Amino acid sequence: MSSSSSLAQHPGKVTGWRLFLKTIIARAYPRVIGQQRDTSWMLFDMLMPMGGVIAYVLVYRAIGAPEEYVGFVVMGGAMTAFWLNILWSMSSQLYWEKETGNLALYIMSPNSMMAVLLGMALGGMLASTLRALVVTILGSLIFHVQYEVVSFLQLFTVFLLAMIALYGMGMMLASLFLLLGREAWHMANLAQEPIYLVSGFYFPIKSFPFWVAAAASIIPLTLGMDAMRQLVFPSSFSLGFLTVSTEIGILLGLSAVFIIAAKLLLAYMEKLAIREGRLTEARR
């Protein structure tokens, strides 16, 4: 075989952004295929959250709350899917990869850990998006929720920035959970319900005192949902915590902070694994 044909069959090593994208696709693929192999889990995962949504709606209607609160509940029930995807498919994932023995392979490979984590989360996003759509459609049909979008551009911008900041936060937490060792499981369980409360999944965060709501805004979904509710339910502008433009600016800042922090923490974690040789062990 000539050298030219050999080079044609074995082109140069993939590096840079191409390697980053290929890593994301490769890590997302098994999750997408795995979800399709057990459709019963997908069915339960989409329908079970409706129980909580229905319970909150019935409570609000029993106490005579404004009708906008029904829409708040439906939107919050849909957005919980993305928080759970971050919590279980990204934040605690490196710890589980260490327990199964895969973390050492990820660290030794020439690709980026951010790409690995992003691929895991995007792979799980299929189920998250389906769950969010099912909750939104069923909730809207059952409870006759009326939507009136003020600005589609602002709505898309808020959702995109909220997801970027949220996934950046997930990558940052992945390093922290891994460094905490076996406490990662307890931390993930501990964080689930309190986030539902302080982020205002089922009620406007303006109900909190100002400084409590401001502290809760460190979680991207808090401001993301508050802004989206103002844009989708115009009558709820008076229930908004901050103006939409202010919340967009804060989400932009949170996106930058969390992504930079995630990159620094992941780099520190890799250096720690190389220097001490203990981070990838199942026992700590």
Of the chain, the percentage scoring pLDDT greater than 90 comes to: 17
Conformational region of residue 148, where left means phi above 0, alpha means psi within -120 to 50, and beta covers everything else: beta
Average pLDDT (89-101) is: 75
pLDDT in tens, 19-34: 888 888 888 888 778 7
Q: Indicate the domain borders of the chain.
A: 16-276
- What are 71's two structure tokens? 């829409």
Amino acid at 8: A
Per-residue pLDDT, 182: 65
Count helices and strands in the chain by DSSP H and E runs:
13, 0
Per-residue pLDDT, 6: 45
DSSP string covering 2-45, please? -HHHHHHHS-PPP-HHHHHHHHHHHHHHHHHHHHHH-HHHHHHH
pLDDT in tens, 97-118: 777 777 777 878 788 888 888 8
Is the separation of the CB atoms in 205 and 216 below 8 Å? yes
User: Exposure string (b/e) for 251-280, b if CB count within 10 Å is 16 or more?
Assistant: beebbeebbebbbebbeebbebbeeeeebb
Per-residue pLDDT, 278: 60
pLDDT in tens, 119-132: 887 887 777 888 88
Per-residue pLDDT, 158: 94
What's the chain's average pLDDT?
Answer: 81
How many CB atoms sit inside 10 A of residue 284's CB?
13
pLDDT in tens, 33-88: 877 666 666 666 777 778 888 889 999 989 988 888 888 999 988 888 888 878 77
CA-nearest of 119, 217, 220, 95 to 168 is 220
Q: CA distances (Å), 284 to each of 26, 180, 212, in order?
A: 29, 10, 36
